[in-house]
Amino acid sequence: MFYLPLKPTTPFTFLNSKTLTPPNCCKSQPQTERGVSFDAGDTFFRHESSTARDLAVLSAAIYKKSHNELRVLDAMCGCGIRSLRYLAESGADFVLANDANPDCGGVIAGNLERADAEKKRWVVKHLEANRLLTECYLERDFFDFIDVDSFGSESSYLRAAMSAVKLDGLLYVTSTDGYSSGGHRPQQTLAAYGAYVKHMPYSNELGLRMLIGGALREASVLGYHVVPLFSYYSYHGPVFRAMLQVRRGKFPIKRDYSFISYCIQCGNSRGFSWDELGQMRCSCNDIPGSLVVSGPLWTGPLHKASFLTEMLELAGKWGWTDDRTGKHIETLLKVMIDESDPVLPFGYIRVDEIASRAKVNSPPLISLLATLHKEGYAATRSHIALNAIKTNCPMVECVRLVKEFHSMSADEKSHGLIEA
Ligand SMILES: C[S@@+](CC[C@H](N)C(=O)[O-])C[C@H]1O[C@@H](n2cnc3c(N)ncnc32)[C@H](O)[C@@H]1O
Ligand SMILES: [Zn+2]
């Protein structure tokens, strides 16, 4: 993976293609994604990011349907696969496909010609993303949908993108810095996203919350706020992505932008508001040093359920839920919808952590969910971690229930499952 410096020595200088060409590019070969043919050439292209592209294409199409217009700026487009799909599938009226690497130009143009051979609905540029976004803002050339598929914890584009997107428009942002969101470089996350992030068991969710929180901070400087329509973690990379709607008006900072604590001693997590900064303790009478705190981060909902439901319906209409690949997006969207339950707190709990605290073998995830539901708790899977749950049940209670489950006979266990 290669990184652009957080702060270029000379802003808006041209970066030569050598700097920008990652070491592990795919070699040229014709490919298809959701039936759309394209050529990746020697550009940076990852097949594993196809789900992230599916989610983007669905969102753009929904935007187009409700706003009747869709002008897209694809700021780091690689071979232009997203730009092509925005034209071919989302019904984009216009796409500005940009990649700072001029060597990608031929491949991008060749791909976009597949959707519009007359070149009326697209242009290709090779500018540094910040420069392009700032120029668009200065020329009052605003876009409905801006996609910035960046590397590492590069976040300097956030403010420029926020300025160039229309109000109520969508901004698709990325971070690939799993090392920092894992709490290994709090100085780095502080510099990039304004959040001091320490290691917590649900660090991949923190990565999403850090990205959204950083965007919210930039938006509030301009008098705007953002609403996450969906947040998506993918372990290939890893990659953290969020689809944000940029709205007018500052966000009431006290709500949904605060501090998250995890108690090593009892395993409980909770949020602390800005007013409670001096009073951070766990209710288990934690011993000094057992409370790990990260923040400020986005602590509100990761997704907007109504938007995800529209995405799921559209995916169905497009036949994406019928095939084997499609099943994946259907399952993903359904889990995300479940995760949007407003009573669920931030974070997820790994079943193994509960079992280890209970000193028993891990129960099957499905049995644990059924038990929690039976006890009246909200509980669901997490799209981020396979063997983990999101629940409003405190850890101590989870441990008790898992112990109880462990001591049940096989008959009682299957009966419990059927009842639930
Ligand atoms: C992750 S790849 C893009 C992949 C593409 N969006 C896709 O879905 O296949 C990032 C691209 O951004 C370009 N890039 C890196 N830094 C840039 C910058 N500051 N401005 C513009 N383009 C940049 C790289 O040349 C690379 O092609
Ligand atoms: Zn505690």
Tell me, what's the pLDDT at 28?
A: 64
Ligand 2 midpoint to CA 271 (Å): 13
- Inter-CA distances, 374 with 346, 393, 401, Å: 22, 12, 11
Report, at the CATH architecture level, how domain 348-420 is classified: 2-Layer Sandwich (3.30)
Residue 4 CA: distances (Å) to CA of 40, 42, 226, 417: 22, 19, 25, 51
Q: What pLDDT was estimated at residue 23?
A: 39
Give 172 Cα–ligand 1 centroid separation in angstroms.
14
- pLDDT number for residue 17: 36
From the list 374, 371, 378, the residue with the least C-alpha distance to 393 is 378
3-state class (DSSP) for residue 382: coil
Contacts of 267 (CB under 8 A, 6+ apart): 349, 353, 354, 357, 395, 396, 399
CATH number of 17-251: 3.40.50.150
CB of 133 within 6 A of ligand 1: the answer is no
- State the Cα angle at 231 between 229 and 237, rounded to 5°: 150
pLDDT of residue 268: 94
Distances (CA, A) of 153 to 236, 291, 320: 16, 26, 32
pTM assigned to the model: 0.92
Q: What was the pLDDT predicted at 1?
A: 37
Residues in the chain predicted with pLDDT less than 70, given as ranges, are 1-28, 252-253, 286, 323-326, 409, 411, 413-420
Q: Residue of the nearest CA to atom 13 in ligand 1?
A: 76
Contact by Cβ (8 Å): 228, 346: no
Domain coordinates of the chain in residue numbers? 17-251, 348-420
DSSP state of 200: -
354 CA → ligand 2 middle, Å: 14
Q: What is the pLDDT of residue 197?
A: 96
Identical fold, 17-251 and 348-420: no
Q: What is the pLDDT of residue 9?
A: 35
pLDDT at 288: 79
